[in-house]
Amino acid sequence: MSDILTDLTDGICTITLNRVEKKNAFTQTMYSSCAQALEEAATNAAVRVVLLQGDVGVFSAGNDIADFLANPPASTDAPVFRFLRALVAFPKPLLAAVCGPAVGIGTTLLLHCDLVYAGDNAAFSMPFVNLGLCPEAGSSLLVPQLMGMHRAAEALLMGEPFFAEAALEVGLVNRVVPPTEANGYAQAQARKLAAKPLSSLVETKRLLKGGQQAALLARIEEEAHSFARMLREPAAKEAFTAFMDKRHPDFSKL
């Protein structure tokens, strides 16, 4: 069975992360599949809304480390950047339902969604610094806008998890519900949107974005160059070696 499932029903394209045994950790193939699904949904007149969802117990553990190390994103042509560009450019309403851990890209992709609904077991984290890396997906631009500078600094410099109620407080999510209700609630909201005039939804989203797309794409590219450089440096090598060895990294001499 595919690690990414897509379903189109009544104008709602549902994209489901379906690699639960690996905590929905993203592989390069999964990024490509998600990008393709978004690109096709953007131009398919039958699609009015897209909903991205995971499992009741986990949204995504971020990058699959083994796959990531075997296929590092060496350029902005990498599948992950195709996925990010598809997120940024997506013109129609984009919703997400999030339960359990949402790590790294599992959190930063939500910054590009229009509505986010979380189970009360959701745990968000952006541990890039802890891996010897830097923010990605435009998060260095969007997180301060969303949270304010000090909360953004705490989230990105400390890299520690914050939970559903805190995410609701800072505006990352719209509503917190029991985990077993999150996907269903998001589907119900998607149905409401699908019943509205698509032209009005698209124009309203365009205006809400405030012409930020060019600046956001530029920041994503800037982050990508830094990310690729830092991936080759000693701190990242120590972090990933420690992860594979199941030990704490030692940055004391770096």
The answer to whether the pTM exceeds 0.85 is yes
pLDDT surpassing 90 at residue 201: yes
State the pLDDT at residue 211: 86
User: pLDDT tens, 115-172?
Assistant: 999 999 999 999 999 999 999 999 999 999 999 999 999 999 999 999 999 999 999 9
Between residues 1 and 88, which one has the greater pLDDT? 88
DSSP class of residue 157? I
The residue whose two tokens read 């806008």 is 145
- Residues 6 or more apart in contact with residue 166 via CB below 8 angstroms: none
pLDDT surpassing 80 at residue 86: yes
116 forms beta bridges with 96
- Residues 6 or more apart in contact with residue 240 via CB below 8 angstroms: 65, 69, 131, 132
User: pLDDT tens, 29-82?
Assistant: 999 999 999 999 999 999 999 999 999 999 999 999 989 888 888 778 899 999
pLDDT range class, residue 1, cuts 50, 70, 90: low
pLDDT surpassing 70 at residue 107: yes
User: pLDDT tens, 210-227?
Assistant: 889 999 999 999 999 999
